[in-house]
A and B are shown apart, each in its own frame.
Chain A
């Protein structure tokens, strides 16, 4: 029935099933890739071992002595001048592993069944709608790509983020590791701009406590740091990072203290509102009760809480800004406490509030702060026993203590790194292709239309007149595929949408459109004169279509047509529009019905419009070539 405002639930079974299929398909590709790489690694291992034994035999050395010449390739990086693995700066290692874990968590969060359809409506749109026009324009590109290809995009996000996490975890050193950081930064920035509306920094009411400037911006910073050459990891870098952190926290303190933003309110202040809103979302009962208790407290102590936040942010900011090692060392524990408390109590651990796709900003900032502190204080990297002493910047050509097995480990890590890149590529390549395709996937329309009634049978006959007064019968349409539906010319929602979908079919078919007739029969017993149909045609821009008929007739003729096509048309009381069945017949050139589809147009977004047009165009082409 029209006018129901009916869309597709985020957990629509058709979409969820397609999402799961896409995940399994991509997983099989990943497994295949891993198989190939494992095979390659085995071959390389065997040949390397064979070479070693042959070399040992030639030198007359004892079997099993593997202390031959050092390979020119460093242990795990493939980079000739990399220091041994034991010398990866501790701060970098901390950053790499923590953000690897975050990307893995984010990737797993992307597995939520509601994400294909919920990402735009529940994640992207809410922040974008509160942001200025230029942000909405930028975000529109990302939203359109996701909306047009929700299943592909959601599956891609899983593999890209899991892949980045694996890549960071396994690529410890050298170029492969730095590339992982760079890739991580690039993807984080894409997410920050196109999915998180620049972290909401331009939206009113933004606050550090609520996630400003966006979690993924910290991912981008971390990625950028990991992309730096390892020689850059020095106390100087640590000082820079700590000072930057201090400046950032001071800025956040000023923003938090800014008057007129409803943070300075004891009753229903911004903090209480946010916390109570978060606690109302589905989540484990323990977390809910903690957050709800804090919400109750915040409801009566908004001013005190905000004051505390301002003071702590300001104090931490000042402590970090001066970058004195002793002060920073003393400031880190309270910073950890503050960020962790904020993460649990205000941000609801990030992913519990609604359709969470990351753990929000406090946790990544916490990791970034710890890494900065470690870098500043220049804590030494842990060493393996017997590792050669070397500075992080000194070139080293040692194979490490283990000789040939070290080479194999290095090769193994290269293979693992390539596998991780493969996982990223499994997500990224289809997404890149999808972003260039402006036509929405038919899956959206299929989700709305439900199961298609595939049928081959006679089409009910009719004899009606078109908008120009010419008689049109079923037999007069022979030789063309026909898409036939029922529209109310004074409908104010569904029927204009369906008309646009049909217009889209004409555009999508291109030259083939001349073999397809688009037909609507009036579905209003009261407003059925040609004047209404012409007005509707003008309104919807259908007058320029040469293959468009809007048919009407006497009330008796129309009632007969409605009955024959199984369409219910009823006059609703109390100011509502006519209620009628949303249905579309796909008729082949011989006049046989090939498919019967629901023409429920859904929410009418451009994605649904494109998807429907695509679906209907395919159906028309099938009918055209089936005769």
Chain B
């Protein structure tokens, strides 16, 4: 099971979950769906793919370093590892109780948008933004609803624009100071998408290539990869499902946009049970390519998913079902899945970070009542502790 801790990949990293943003106004959900927008014919109805809700504990790889969201006693922390360094530091946005969880989305110019999910008696979602990895977090407005509990529920567009999934995956909202706010409910999306069988929205990402927010969800229709974009009323599936998925229903677990391709982590339900597959939509393609499947472990209802982007082959993915399950990693198109040793007990978050031409995996372990986050690194002989980060426990919450 255990392999070398340093996972090689072809080229330099790009940001996970969103590529480099180009300028473009975000009007409603998107301005255009670009040329690859192609609505395939509706398929037959099947059993809806079971929609796992991935943990908010995830990581985002940027050129400047890796951000990780980690739950600690009562609160969530944002940790940052600058590229080329080995020491994580605390970078939690201040000023708001983040008991409900923090969702991060890469923003333009290596910035970052953070959303504080509602908790306790707070019913709306405050936002914080930092202009660059070295800048301070600043208050950045609110989303007047409850952000979906998913690491892919928030996308940052150019300027102060954002797109977000709300109401338990039943609506998507895009807003910006210049464009105002537009909301699409799942009912209207079902109407627009025809027979796509959309049951719930699960992910949103900003595609700089499409200059649009791309939405994803879960479908009850066989042979549909429910990833779509477009202006209001004209939203369409981005691409057709490959032949291998024609007899299966698909739920998108996570979504990522790179400069070379749009990537999705899929839960595929078919006659042979559920499998996990990474799917890629390269520029100009009208059909999704899927990698080799891996059986979906059932250890957890809230698995950890970590996207990271490869220069040419699309997004790589890290998947951990929790408990004693191994960590599964796929590094890109046709790379298949490789299993690595199960992380230490008490692990509550994983992070993928760039280390030269390799991917380095980290695990964050926290113990109840402790103010120490133990940070483990995957080495060739398994996980070994690399750092103990003290988190000042504060009153409040």
Contact = CB atoms under 8 A, between A and B. Distances in A.
A binds B: yes
Given A4-B395, A577-B397, A539 B96 contact: no
A206 B138 CA distance: 54
Contact of B97 (A1, A531, A576): A576
A492 B138 contact: no
A574 B397 contact: no
A491 B90 CA distance: 22
Interface string B361-397: 0000000000000000000000000000001111111
Interface string A495-520: 01100000000000000000000000
A524 B122 CA distance: 15
Given A3-B97, A532-B142, A539-B123, A492 B397 contact: yes
Interface string B105-117: 0000000000010
A538 interface: yes
Contact of A535 (B96, B100, B144): B144
B395 A575 contact: no
Contacts of A538: 144
Interface stretch (B71-79, B242-250, B331-339): B71-79
Contacts, number: 107
B99 interface: yes
Interface string A391-423: 000000000000000000000000000000000
Interface in B124-156: 124, 126, 138-139, 141-142, 144
A490 B96 contact: yes
Nearest to A539: B123
B135 to A, nearest CB: 14
B44 interface: no
B94 A572 contact: yes
A101 interface: no
A532 B128 CA distance: 12
Most buried by B among A3, A491, A492, A539: A492
Contact of A526 (B75, B94, B121, B123): B94
A493 interface: yes
Contacts of B119: 492
Interface string A461-483: 00000000000000000000000
Contacts of A525: 95
Contacts of A1: 395-396
A573 B122 contact: no
A571 interface: yes
B92 interface: yes
Contacts of B391: 574
B396 A3 contact: yes
Given A1-B395, A492-B120, A573 B126 contact: no
A575 B75 contact: yes
A526 B118 CA distance: 18
Contacts of A574: 72, 75, 77, 90, 92, 391-394
Interface in B6-27: none
A573 B94 contact: yes
Contact of A579 (B116, B120, B121, B395): B395
A492 B95 CA distance: 11
Nearest to B137: A526
A564 B121 CA distance: 29
Nearest to B75: A575
Contacts of A532: 126, 139, 142
A492 B142 contact: no
A565 interface: no
Given A527-B126, A529-B139, A3 B397 contact: yes
A107 to B, nearest CB: 40
Interface SS of chain B: helix, strand, loop or mixed?
A: loop
B124 A575 contact: no
Interface in B196-213: none
B72 A577 contact: no
Contacts of A535: 124, 142, 144
A139 to B, nearest CB: 24
A571 B126 CA distance: 16
B235 to A, nearest CB: 28
B397 A531 contact: no
Contact of A531 (B77, B90, B92, B141): B141
Interface string B53-90: 00000000000000000001001110000000000001
Interface in B248-286: none
A579 B397 CA distance: 10
Interface string A528-568: 11011001001100000000000000000000000000000
A529 B120 CA distance: 22
A205 to B, nearest CB: 26
A208 to B, nearest CB: 37
B98 interface: yes
B127 to A, nearest CB: 10
Contact of A491 (B77, B122, B393): B122
B302 to A, nearest CB: 19
A577 B116 CA distance: 11
Contacts of A353: none
Given A3-B395, A572-B394, A490 B95 contact: yes
Contact of B396 (A497, A531, A539, A576): A576
A247 interface: no
Contacts of A528: 139
A275 interface: no
A3 B95 CA distance: 13
B122 A492 contact: yes
A490 B116 CA distance: 10
A161 B122 CA distance: 44
Given A531-B142, A574-B392, A493 B124 contact: no
B394 A526 contact: no
Contacts of B395: 1, 3-4, 572, 576, 579
Contact of A578 (B95, B120, B121, B124): B95
A442 interface: no
A579 B144 contact: no
A577 B92 CA distance: 12
B396 A490 contact: no
B396 A579 contact: yes
A575 B70 CA distance: 11
A3 B74 CA distance: 12
B139 A527 contact: yes
Contacts of A604: 121
A2 interface: yes
B176 to A, nearest CB: 14
A372 to B, nearest CB: 53
A573 B75 CA distance: 10
A576 B394 CA distance: 6
Nearest to B73: A574
A490 B94 contact: no
Interface in A305-345: none
A2 B94 contact: no
A46 B230 CA distance: 103
A527 B96 contact: yes
Contacts of A527: 95-96, 126, 139
Interface in A573-604: 573-579, 604
A571 B72 CA distance: 19
Contacts of B97: 3, 490-493, 575-577
A21 to B, nearest CB: 34
A568 to B, nearest CB: 12
Interface string A194-207: 00000000000000
24 contacts: A3-B97, A490-B95, A490-B122, A492-B118, A492-B121, A493-B97, A493-B121, A525-B95, A526-B94, A526-B139, A528-B139, A531-B141, A532-B139, A539-B124, A571-B95, A572-B94, A574-B391, A575-B77, A575-B394, A576-B75, A576-B97, A577-B96, A577-B97, A578-B396
User: What are the 6 A-B residue pairs with the smallest beta carbon separation, nearest first?
Assistant: A575-B75, A576-B394, A3-B396, A526-B95, A576-B396, A492-B122
Given A532-B139, A575-B77, 9 more contacts: A492-B119, A493-B121, A496-B122, A572-B94, A574-B75, A575-B72, A575-B98, A576-B394, A579-B395
